[in-house]
Each structure stands twice: as C-alpha cells, then as structure tokens.
Amino acid sequence: GAGVSQSPSNKVTEKGKDVELRCDPISGHTALYWYRQSLGQGLEFLIYFQGNSAPDKSGLPSDRFSAERTGGSVSTLTIQRTQQEDSAVYLCASSSGGQGAGSPLHFGNGTRLTVT
Amino acid sequence: AQSVAQPEDQVNVAEGNPLTVKCTYSVSGNPYLFWYVQYPNRGLQFLLKYITGDNLVKGSYGFEAEFNKSQTSFHLKKPSALVSDSALYFCAVRPYTGRRALTFGSGTRLQVQP
C-alpha cells in the first residue's frame, strides 16, 4: 500500500503568517510522530500520538506549535505566527505499534518550510 | 532523559573496505535501538533494529550492528562498502517502557570513495 504522505512538499511563507502541514499515515498505523530536521542538524522530536492516548507534546518548542490527529488517522501540524527560525523540513512518521515500542517508523518525504 | 551521540559528523572510506559508524546512547532501563539511512533527496529509511537477544543484528543492504550493553554502544558496520552506501545515517533509541518517542542522534555522513 501507499507510504506516509505529507503535503505540501514545499511551503514558503512570510514571517508572522500561520501554516498548516498535513500528514497521511500508513493505513492501520496507530502511532504517528512529527519531527523537525534543520539544515545540517539531526531530527528534533516534536509530538507523538499513540491510539487514543493523550499525545506526548513534550517536544513542541513553543506554544505557537500545535498538532492534532483526527479520527486516529490524518494529522495536522500548525505553526502560528511563523518565525524565520521555524524554517526546516518537517517530517511525519507512523508505525504499527506492533512489538510494543520496537516497531520501526515509516517516514514521509517531509515538508520543507521556508519562512521569509 | 534519553539521548544519542554520534561522535563523527563524517566518515570517509574507500569502496571495498569495511566501514563503521559509531553510536552511543543513554536511556533508563533497557533500550530499543535503531539505525536509519537518508539518501540524498529521499526520505528516511529503516535499516535495522535491536530489541533483545543476539547482540549482532543484521539489516538491509548488508549492514549489521553490534549492541554492547556495557559500553552503551550500537555501532553500524558493513564488511565491504559500496559507493551507493554514501548517505546520512542516524542512530536512534527509546526505552522499553515510559516515553515511546524515538530520540535520534545528529547523524553521520558516510562518504564512500570509488
């Protein structure tokens, strides 16, 4: 079946505008993650959804960032009042939740966000 | 808190030679350990994982990794490097229990010269 799908693939926005990034996980995957990858940097954890449990929001860098996952499937990451330091590639990943925490993550191709 | 260290920003190796990409970790309790690879202009791909059992795990594309609990390491290895192995490699960890989010290292760029 299809892999993790993210849209848009590229987004250029002006400083101060709000943006929404979308993630369609692999069908049936109960876990969904958002990470951020800045140029030349590693992956920074943002937020994690697992089934119907409360999401782990501990990685969100500020209250301008929020995410939701509707119906246990599609997720939207929203960044309000964007700043230039928000420029990065935002990666979404999903996993089946099988084997407990040992199931591998499947990543989308990411959304490259540029704040001008 | 859990963390991963990849001490080398870049590793250079000649084609046909063995390669090692280093990773050490810190986590409470027993770890799940992973290696992912990111080829240019492509998404992150899962390579291999350690859950329990044999300390030497084998993965995709001929890669393997050795779990060493006493040294808290999980180095990635391949007996004979290919030019096509050139990519960015990430090590990641999460604990058996508690927070399930995967923590990644900063990545190591592998350059295999022909």
- Which domains does chain B show, CATH number per domain? 3-113 (2.60.40.10)
Smallest CA–CA distance, residue B14 to chain A, in Å, is: 24
pLDDT above 90 for A79: yes
Contact, A108 vs A92, CB < 8 A?
yes
pLDDT above 60 for B57: yes
Partnered with residue A93 across adjacent β-strands are A33, A107
The more confident residue out of A28 and B100 is A28
pLDDT above 90 for A114: yes
Which residues in chain B are closer than 8 Å to A93, comparing Cβ atoms? 44
The CATH code for residues A5-109 is 2.60.40.10
Which residues in chain A are closer than 8 Å to B96, comparing Cβ atoms? 100-101
pLDDT confidence bin for B96, thresholds 50/70/90: confident
pLDDT confidence bin for A40, thresholds 50/70/90: low
CA distance B49 to B46: 8
CB contact under 8 A, A42 and B104: yes
* Residue A39 DSSP class: T
Inter-chain Cβ pairs, chain A and chain B, closer than 8 A: 57
CB contact under 8 A, B44 and A42: no
pLDDT of residue A16: 97
Q: Does A7 touch chain B (CB under 8 A)?
A: no
Q: Out of A19-33, B29-43, B66-80, pick the least confident.
A: B29-43
Contact, A50 vs A97, CB < 8 A?
yes
Query: Of A102, A103, A107, A87, whose CA–CA distance to A10 is shortest?
Result: A87
Which residues in chain B are closer than 8 Å to A34, comparing Cβ atoms? none
Mean predicted confidence (pLDDT) in A50-65: 91
pLDDT confidence bin for A98, thresholds 50/70/90: low
Average pLDDT, chain A: 91
Mean predicted confidence (pLDDT) in A20-39: 93
Nearest CA in chain B to A91: B43
- Which residue among B36, B43, B96 sits closest to A108, beta carbon to beta carbon? B43
